[in-house]
Amino acid sequence: MVLLASVLCLNTMIVAFACQPVDTVETEKTEFIVPQGSTVISENQFSARRDLVNVIVPKSVERLGAGAFYNCINLKPIIFEEGSNLKYIDDSVFQNCRNLEIMNLPDSVVYINSHCFWDCTKLPSELTLPKSLEKVEPTAFYNTRIKSVVLPSQCKYQLKDYGFPYAPSFPDNCIVSGGTIYNFYSHLSAPLPEIVDETYDNTGVLSEEIDKEKLVVPEGTLEIENGQFSQRLDLVDIIIPKSVKKIGASAFYGCTNLRSVKFEESSALKYIDYFVFQNCISLEQINIPKGVQQIRAHSFWACVKLNSISFPDTVRVIDANAFFMTKIEYVELPENCKYQEKGHGFPNECSFPEGIEIHGGIPFDFYKDRPCPIEAYPTEGLFDGKEESSSKFIVPEGTTKISSNQFIGRKDLVDIVIPKSVKVICPGAFYMCCNLESVTFEEGSELKAIESYAFQNCHNLEKINIPEEVIQIKSHAFWACERLSSICLTMSLKIIDASAFYTTKIKNVSLPDNCKYQGIKHGFPHEMSFPKDCIVTGGVSCDLYEGL
């Protein structure tokens, strides 16, 4: 690949350099990752490619398919050739491209779809989008550090927050010039109340000496930006100064060595935003400061060592999924604190893990108007299998349920065997087991259900045999299993939920004639059950989310 300075980009907008042009040179065909003349980069075509750093897209390409460069974490510039005909940038195309800094968007672009630049936290703070643009869908740039954006007058964008995954098109504090405010989700109720800016008396909090070396931002800082410390492996024990009023979405996302978080006495923090501590798999201790009113969705998702939490009496709302994938077994809530009691499947699960003991609070359903097409396979009374594993199995023989998050993030799992007694694999059971390559179910398996995101982000998973007795595979069960290119599904299957195999490399699949699957695309998180270009034989293509 050539460097940015040698790429021709006349009539385009260079985001990172305030629209300054770059030098013109001829480019050779070998510099392109897709052949000249190609009109589409397929869904997930280059997802999770670690070798991609500098990428040039030929002018012939008109569409970037969903997830085309998803999780290409080393990608820095992506340049579109002069005269580009690009019109459509689909869902999640550059999601998790955390090093993406430089990009020229052609004046031909019409749509930028949801989650397209989610977690692209190195994009510049100021952005001018093409004059041809007609629509920027919700969440397209939400989880970035963009502070100001200029849109053409006809371009529709989402301003109001309806809760994840229906967040605004741009960050909360982003100044948008031009464009047309549009509500893509007017048919839904906004689940969360607005934050009331009240001042609380924090006197009486135990005062102690603060270790200044553990302050991650200087005293006096008002805001920690979106993704500011995401995936920092050097953070272990940190202190957040009392001046901080806002912690942006994904601020500490994926800080896998982060063990404790302490807020300085008299903290000004009012809410904990989406995904702030998601995937902080070592987090054991955090004090929620007095004054916090709201804890938003997925804020502590996959904090699997967090087994206890205390809430101040100021907390009014704890959103769906906030503490769902944790080890918390008991919680005491303020009497007037609403929490999500009913799980609707990903991404609107319960606020806390299923079956925990909750004292106080107000059980509530923030997402009662959201579709919930698939009821979970009943798991009441099933044995959790907490004994020591035998050498052959990761859970003991006789176990009937693999619990939620039971093996989450285990890097030692490569080739595993699951005993025939297991009837259900619960949500997130093998979530983020990134070295897992093969899963074999013992002959005669009694497995009935694979729940939501059970194998999500198992990036190296290549082989799994679905047992004969499986009835349902729920949403996102194999999301981001980019190496899974084939799957044999059984005649007992009744339903395959949205997004179950969407971000895989599966090209052909055969289903029993009465098996329902999601054949209509609604965008994240209600994508089709299989990749867009997958040939499905048999089954019943339907819309499980009709009316969304």
Instruction: For residue range 293-309, list pLDDT tens digits in order.
Output: 999 999 999 898 999 99
Is residue 190 a contact partner of residue 160, using CB atoms and an 8 Å limit?
yes
Mean predicted confidence (pLDDT) in 225-233? 92
**Co-location of 3 and 133 in the same domain:** yes
- Domain harbouring 151, CATH code: 3.80.10.10
Among the listed residues 438, 447, 400, 432, the one whose alpha carbon sits nearest the alpha carbon of residue 417:
438
**Domain closes at, from 335, 370, 405:** 370
- The DSSP-derived string for 32-68 is -SS-TT--EEPTTTTTT-TT-SSEEE-TT--EE-TTT
What is the length of the chain? Answer: 548
**Co-location of 432 and 533 in the same domain:** yes
* 378: CB partners within 8 A, 6+ apart: none
- To the nearest whole number, what is the mean pLDDT of the chain? 86
**Co-location of 131 and 275 in the same domain:** no
1-15, 48-62, 272-286: least confidently modelled range: 1-15
**Domain closes at, from 341, 370, 399:** 370
Domain extent at residue 333: 191-195+211-370
Q: Tell me the per-residue pLDDT of 187-217, one tens digit each, with 9 for 90 and over.
A: 888 888 888 766 555 543 334 456 766 778 8
Q: Is residue 201 part of a domain?
A: no
CA angle 464, 471, 483 (to 5 degrees): 25
Q: Tell me the per-residue pLDDT of 130-182, one tens digit each, with 9 for 90 and over.
A: 999 999 999 999 999 999 999 999 999 999 999 888 899 999 889 999 999 99
**Co-location of 328 and 424 in the same domain:** no
Q: Is residue 421 part of a domain?
A: yes
**Co-location of 364 and 385 in the same domain:** no
pLDDT of residue 31: 56
Radius of gyration of the chain (CA): 24
Give Cα 512 to chain centroid, integer Å: 31
pTM exceeding 0.75: yes
Q: Tell me, what amino acid is at 145?
A: R
d(CA 318, CA 301): 13
Among the listed residues 492, 495, 487, the one whose alpha carbon sits nearest the alpha carbon of residue 519:
495
| Token couple for 33 | 């990752």
Give Cα 103 to chain centroid, integer Å: 22
| Token couple for 237 | 């024990």
* Burial of 221 (C-beta count, 10 Å sphere; 0-12/13-18/19+): middle
